């Protein structure tokens, strides 16, 4: 039987982030505002001070920050958080300037330069824009600048509704091949029950797999800011598959960032799979929006999943929706269950003509043969 001492020792080993170089930190609205959603400068100052301490250890820091709407509420002297989406967007537009000027004031105390980047998920869908974003962020980091990223709430209607900065931070972490994602919120981590409602609630220190039970807990675990634990679990799905550890911790705790880096058992750690995805794999799986679906037979599915093969026309039994060569597609089995995503070498209309055929017959049917494979293994990711 494993002793408690051994368990604690093992947990400390997996929590050793002393060698982590590139760190994405997502801070929630609750860690930047007061109970009335108004921006609280004292909290911004605390965060800036802790981040600068990490910078002194030669860490690269990317900050994904909520709080623009909260800052706008204070600037406009609103009595409560607006419910109308147009007013929310206008409030965010006002607040974003306040938020960044507040960050700049406190980081300037340490001669730390910051940069503002406003994004929506559209920045990730297009491959070229995705790479441009990566290049910009890497250039800033090499110059010692801290990028501060936020959802573009003035135009991103859906993002405002779901508090998608959690998922955004995971996409940014994966885009940059980060060593760690830290999500700061107003709770100590993921609990078995909502700690505000149940005395039976226990902190879950480590999560190795996102099970249906973990998702159930997230659904009923209460909300923070405009997101909640549900969106944080979605973020964990991204980082765990991408091979990046993620920690949910209480941003209100003193020196929380330094304590995490030193391996102190705070918050909930989501363990990544051992192999990190490369840049292209990550983009295919998480950022690219599938334009269509390719349905394959059982033999083709086995060849892809178990044998690591490419998708050939002989195993295709159907095509859904129109797409072009170079588009990302979902690959589904005969029952319609998605098991892979990839970049198609042929358009949907071409695939309709060659499905079920041998690769050597492609040229005879299409008058050309660009590729032997419909989806090359190197451009495919299993789900």
Per-residue pLDDT reduced to its tens digit, 335-355? 999 999 999 999 999 999 999
- Residue 220 pLDDT greater than 80, yes or no: no
- pLDDT of 221 reads 53
CA distance 22 to 360: 47
Write out pLDDT tens, residues 67-76.
888 889 989 9
pLDDT reported for residue 130: 86
Q: CA-CA-CA-CA torsion for 86, 91, 96, 98, nearest 10 degrees?
A: 170
Cα separation, 91 vs 374, whole angstroms: 48
* Residue 189 per-residue DSSP state: S
Q: Tell me, which fold does domain 290-382 have in CATH? A: 2.30.130
Q: Could you give the percent of the chain with pLDDT greater than 70?
A: 91
The per-residue pLDDT for 32 is 93
**What are 29-62's pLDDT values in tens digits?**
889 988 877 889 999 999 999 999 999 999 999 9
Q: Which one has a higher pLDDT value, 174 or 11? A: 174
Q: What integer pLDDT is reported at residue 88 of this predicted model?
A: 86
Asked if pLDDT for residue 159 goes beyond 70, the answer is no
What residues does 203 pair with on adjacent strands?
A: 191
80-105 average pLDDT score: 90
Alpha helices, DSSP H only, in the chain? 4-14, 41-55, 68-75, 85-108, 122-125, 127-142, 157-162, 165-175, 212-220, 229-242, 256-261, 279-282, 298-305, 348-354, 362-366
Q: Which segments of the chain belong to CATH 3.40.1160.10?
A: 4-281
CATH architecture under which domain 4-281 falls? 3-Layer(aba) Sandwich (3.40)
pLDDT digits (tens, 9 = 90+) for 281-308: 888 887 778 999 999 999 999 999 999 9
Read off the pLDDT band of 239 (50, 70, 90): very high
Q: With cut-offs at 50, 70 and 90, classify the pLDDT of residue 156.
A: low
pLDDT band at 13 (very low <50, low <70, confident <90, very high): low
Q: Does residue 215 carry a pLDDT above 90?
A: no
Domain with CATH 2.30.130.10 in the chain: 290-382
> Which of 291, 311, 313, 295 shows the shortest CA–CA distance to 303?
311
21, 23, 57, 62, 240 from 179: Cα distances, Å: 6, 6, 15, 11, 12
Using one digit for the tens of pLDDT, what is the confidence trace for 356-376? 999 999 999 999 998 999 999
The pLDDT assigned to 292 comes to 96
Q: Is the pLDDT of residue 187 over 60?
A: yes
Model's pTM, two decimal places?
A: 0.82
């Amino acid at each position: 039987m494993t002793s408690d001492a051994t368990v604690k020792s093992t947990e400390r080993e997996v929590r050793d982030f002393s060698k982590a170089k590139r760190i994405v930190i997502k801070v929630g609205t609750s860690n930047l505002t007061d109970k009335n959603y108004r921006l609280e400068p004292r909290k911004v100052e605390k965060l800036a001070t802790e981040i600068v301490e990490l910078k002194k250890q030669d860490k690269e820091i990317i900050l994904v920050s909520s709080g623009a709407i909260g800052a706008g509420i204070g600037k406009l002297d609103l009595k409560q958080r607006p419910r109308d989406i147009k007013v929310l967007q206008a409030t965010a537009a006002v607040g974003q300037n306040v938020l960044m000027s507040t960050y700049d004031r406190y980081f300037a105390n340490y001669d730390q330069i910051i940069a503002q980047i406003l994004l929506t998920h559209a920045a990730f869908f297009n491959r070229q824009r995705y790479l441009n974003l990566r290049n910009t962020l890497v250039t800033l980091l090499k110059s010692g600048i801290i990028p501060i990223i936020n959802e573009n709430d003035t135009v991103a209607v859906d993002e405002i509704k779901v508090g998608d900065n959690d998922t955004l931070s995971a996409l940014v972490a994966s885009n940059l091949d980060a060593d760690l994602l830290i999500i700061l919120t107003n709770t100590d981590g993921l609990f078995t029950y909502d700690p505000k409602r149940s005395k039976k609630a226990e902190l879950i220190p480590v999560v190795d797999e996102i099970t249906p039970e973990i998702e159930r807990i997230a659904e009923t675990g209460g909300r923070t800011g405009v997101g909640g634990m549900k969106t944080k679990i979605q973020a964990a799905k991204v980082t765990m598959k991408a091979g990046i550890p993620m920690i949910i911790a209480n941003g209100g705790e003193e020196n929380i960032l330094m304590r995490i880096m030193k391996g102190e058992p705070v918050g909930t750690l989501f363990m990544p799979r051992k192999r990190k995805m490369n840049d292209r794999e990550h983009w295919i799986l998480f950022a690219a929006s599938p334009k269509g679906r390719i349905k394959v037979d059982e033999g083709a599915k086995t060849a892809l999943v178990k044998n690591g093969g490419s998708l050939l026309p002989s195993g295709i039994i159907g095509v859904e929706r129109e797409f072009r060569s170079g588009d990302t597609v979902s690959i589904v089995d005969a029952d319609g269950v998605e098991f892979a995503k990839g970049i198609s070498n042929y358009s949907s209309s071409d695939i309709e003509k060659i499905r079920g055929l041998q690769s050597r017959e492609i040229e005879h049917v299409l008058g050309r043969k660009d590729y032997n494979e419909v989806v090359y293994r190197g451009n495919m990711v299993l789900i």
